Amino acid sequence: MNSVNQSLLPITAKIDEAGILHIGGCSTVDLAEKFGTPLYVYDEESIRNCCRQYKQAFAKYPKTNILFAAKAFMTSAICRIMHQEGLGLDLVSGGEIYTAVKTGFPMERTFLNGNNKSAEELEFALKAGVGRIDVDNFSEMELLDKVAKSINMKADVLLRITPGIECHTHDYIKTGHEDTKFGFDLSQLDEAVRLIKEKYLNINLVGLHAHIGSQIFETTGYIDLVGVLVDKLAEIREKFGITLTEMNMGGGLGIKYLESDDPPSIDELAEAVLGALDENLKKYNYPEPILYLEPGRSIVGTSGVTLYKAGSVKVVPEVRKYVSVDGGMADNPRPALYGAQYSAVIANKANQERTEKVTISGRFCESGDIVIRDITLPEIEFGDIICVFDTGAYNYTMSFNYNRVGRPAAVLVKDGKAEIIIRRETWEDLTACDVIPESLALPKAESKCAGCCACMG
Write out the catalytic residue numbers: 365
Q: Terminus-to-terminus CA distance in the chain, angstroms?
A: 61
d(CA 155, CA 452): 50
- The residues, any chain, with a CB within 8 Å of residue 84's CB and separated by 6 or more, are none
Within 10 angstroms of residue 326's Cβ, the number of other Cβ atoms is 18
Residue 385 contacts residue 32 (beta carbons within 8 Å): yes
- The H or E element spanning position 293 is strand 290-293
> Residue 214: which of 276, 271, 272, 263 has the closest Cα?
263
Cβ-in-10-Å burial (0-12, 13-18, 19+) of 402 comes to middle
Residue 158 contacts residue 195 (beta carbons within 8 Å): no
Q: Rounded to 5 degrees, what angle do the CA atoms 165, 210, 57 make?
A: 100
Characterise 53 by phi-psi region: left (phi > 0), alpha (psi -120 to 50), beta (else).
alpha
